[in-house]
């Protein structure tokens, strides 16, 4: 196996051989993030990323096995999933709308990359699982959790199905994103209203 700790935990685990250069990882992620945001996932070749980062091809593939893994890491580092703040409690319908509006607001910057990563996941099961575990599942969990709480608080009728409704919410999000349709505050509210009823 490899060492590859690279100060991930702070305690470098005393592996033999030359240690990984954390600066190389940083440069790759920063460059990938910038180039993909600026020019788009499919327009930016690996050769451009390593050239701008000033790093060899093999150094990239020592760390990530595909372009998609690198880009996921790059965006993950930046923000992407740190939307997972605790949500305001009193009004669950409003909390859901706010949560969605927050995600949708980030789509201006990250939406195109997100679409590319979802696409990449369809051709690469390993990446699909990684993407699901790191990006999809946590967000789904937040909504499911919120809906369970809303149900406990009596704001959502007991007959409703939080897991299904969470699939409705994220499904509508994905469906509109992947079909190139708008997603804004209005849609956040509309989705929340659709879940909680009129």
Partner DNA sequence: TTGATTAATAGACTGCAGTCTACTAAATGC
Partner DNA sequence: GCATTTAGTAGACTGCAGTCTATTAATCAA
C-beta neighbour count of 114 within 10 angstroms: 22
Residues from 45 through 74 that contact DNA (CB under 7 A): 45-47, 54-59, 61-63, 65-68
Q: Which one of residues 46, 87, 130, 167 is an interface residue with a second copy (CB under 8 A)?
A: 167
Using CB under 8 A as the binding rule, whether residue 100 contacts a second copy is answered as: no
Using CB under 8 A as the binding rule, whether residue 157 contacts a second copy is answered as: yes
The contact mask relative to DNA for 23-42 (x = CB under 7 A, - = no) is -x------------------
Between 92-121 and 185-196, two packed helices, what is the crossing angle to 10 degrees?
A: 110
Whichever of 57 and 132 has its CB closer to a second copy, that residue is 132
Torsion of CA 79, 82, 88, 92, to 10 degrees: 90
Dist CA 4 CA 13 (whole Å): 9
> Count of residues binding DNA (CB under 7 A)?
30
Residues from 103 through 142 that contact a second copy (CB under 8 A): 115-116, 118-123, 125, 128, 132, 136
Using CB under 7 A as the binding rule, whether residue 18 contacts DNA is answered as: yes
Using CB under 7 A as the binding rule, whether residue 15 contacts DNA is answered as: yes
Shortest distance, position 2 Cβ to a second copy, whole Å: 28
Q: Which residues bind a second copy (CB under 8 A)?
A: 41-42, 115-116, 118-123, 125, 128, 132, 136, 157, 159-161, 164-165, 167-168, 170-176, 178-180, 190-191, 193-194, 197-198
């Amino acid at each position: 196996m490899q060492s590859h700790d690279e100060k991930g935990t702070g305690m470098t685990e005393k592996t033999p051989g030359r240690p990984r250069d954390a600066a190389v990882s940083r440069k790759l992620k920063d460059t990938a993030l910038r180039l993909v945001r600026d020019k788009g996932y499919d327009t930016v070749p690996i050769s451009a990323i390593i050239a701008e980062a000033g790093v060899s091809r093999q150094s990239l593939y020592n760390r990530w096995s595909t372009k998609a893994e690198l880009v996921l890491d790059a965006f993950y580092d930046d923000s992407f999933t740190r939307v997972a703040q605790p949500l305001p409690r009193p009004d669950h319908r409003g909390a859901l709308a706010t949560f969605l509006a927050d995600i949708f607001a980030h789509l201006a910057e990250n939406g195109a990359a997100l679409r590319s990563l979802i696409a990449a996941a369809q051709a690469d099961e390993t990446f699909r699982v990684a993407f699901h575990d790191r990006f999809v599942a946590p967000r789904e969990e937040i909504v499911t959790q919120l809906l369970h709480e809303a149900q406990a608080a009596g704001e959502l009728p007991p007959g409703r199905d939080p897991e299904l409704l969470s699939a409705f919410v994220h499904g509508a999000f994905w469906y509109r994103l992947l079909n190139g349709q708008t997603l804004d505050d209005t849609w956040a509210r509309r989705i929340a209203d659709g879940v909680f009823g009129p």
